[in-house]
Amino acid sequence: MEENIFFKEIDGITYTSDMRVITGCKKDIEGHIIIPEGVEIIKAEAFRSCESITSIILPDSLKTIEWRAFVDCRNLQHIDFGNGIQQIGCLGLSNDIFDGCKNLHSVIIPSQVKYIGDAVFYKTGLNTIQLNEGLENIGNMVFGNCQMLTHLILPASLKHFGFHRSNHFANITLKTIPVDFILKITDTSYRYHYPEYRIITLTIGDRKVFIPNMMDEYDRSKVNAKINEEGVTDNLMYSMYKYAPSEAIRTEIGYHIYNEALKQNNVDKIDEGFRLKLKQRATGMIFHLLDQDRLEEAIMIINLGFLSESMIRGFLKKTDNPAVRAYLLENLHKLDGDGKQMQL
């Protein structure tokens, strides 16, 4: 058989004859794959549905990974991007490079990478990702539908963060806030008939601000403009509950704010009328959180000191949860010690 002068196959992977481009592979390749030095481009869908690959090491020579290159590699658990590539994914495309890689739980983005294109890690199993200093641009929906990725730590070098509305982020840690960041991580409440309201905790240095994931469009723009112009001020931190789209989420944010204010000895910065509302609604909110198995948040409210002795004794009769009972008893002993509940 005449030798193909344009392509060659090595260990089930097809390369151009100069070994600079990978164009495809056999679907039965498996295990640990090492891409040789000299390869510069991995073409679109080159490793599509190679379900037996478990790990890939990319060479320092690699410059481009095209769209859907590793789509549906369902057992891929590890990828090493090497020390050469500066851009993962192409500009202006929904890249979906690792879409469907359900077992890809952890990724390290090396420091030389400046740009991650749209939807690169869309619908993966990521639960942790290390974004090193040097990264400047994260495209739209890079982490879209990554349901286990609830905490992002963003580097100070980041200049642009693309749209990630209606995602699963519960905690985002930043050193600096990119322009229009609030518009990128929140959505407008009227877009959904049954919206899933959540609280996003932004940590900037020693400050925490609790953002509703959905807001009225006017309020959303107002909060975004305030943070663009002034950063996270005390006034904004302690009044974020005002921008929540429902009374329930407003109250829930209020308890988180109050908890932070206690730690900072700044309770007096929270509106007095709202503090009284928090006290009046504490019992109902605790029951609501326990019904949803949100134990940590229920215990947080128990420890805020809003409950009277009679309320605590009532709770003790209704709950068998040992952790909840322990915190209730601790607060009861505090009341017995000083003979009164917290003064507002």
- Find the range with the poorest average confidence among 78-92, 261-275, 328-342: 328-342
**CATH T-level fold of 31-270:** 3.80.10
Domain boundaries, the chain: 31-270, 271-344
Q: State the Cα–Cα distance between residues 122 and 99, nearest whole angstrom.
A: 5
Mean pLDDT of the chain: 91
Phi, psi of 230 (to 5 degrees): -120, -10
Q: What is the pLDDT of residue 343?
A: 42
pTM tops 0.75, yes or no: yes
* CA nearest neighbour of 213 among 257, 169, 160, 181: 169
Cα separation, 80 vs 73, in Å, equals 15
C-alpha to C-alpha distance for 330 and 266, rounded to whole angstroms: 24
Check whether 34 has a pLDDT greater than 90: yes
Q: What is the pLDDT of residues 55-99, one digit of tens each?
A: 999 999 999 999 999 999 999 999 999 999 999 998 778 999 999
Does pLDDT of 3 surpass 90? no
CA distance linking residue 108 with residue 112, whole number of Å:
12
How many residues does the structure list for the chain? 344
pLDDT at 155: 95
How do beta strands 78-80 and 214-215 pair?
unpaired
Residue that the structure tokens 């009284």 belong to: 276
290-318 per-position pLDDT tens digit: 988 899 999 999 999 999 999 999 889 98
Q: What's the one-letter identity of residue 64?
A: T
Give residue 128's pLDDT band: very low, low, confident or very high (50, 70, 90).
very high
Burial class (CB in 10 A: 0-12, 13-18, 19+), 310: exposed
For residue 172, pLDDT beyond 80: yes
Tokens of 34: 């090492």
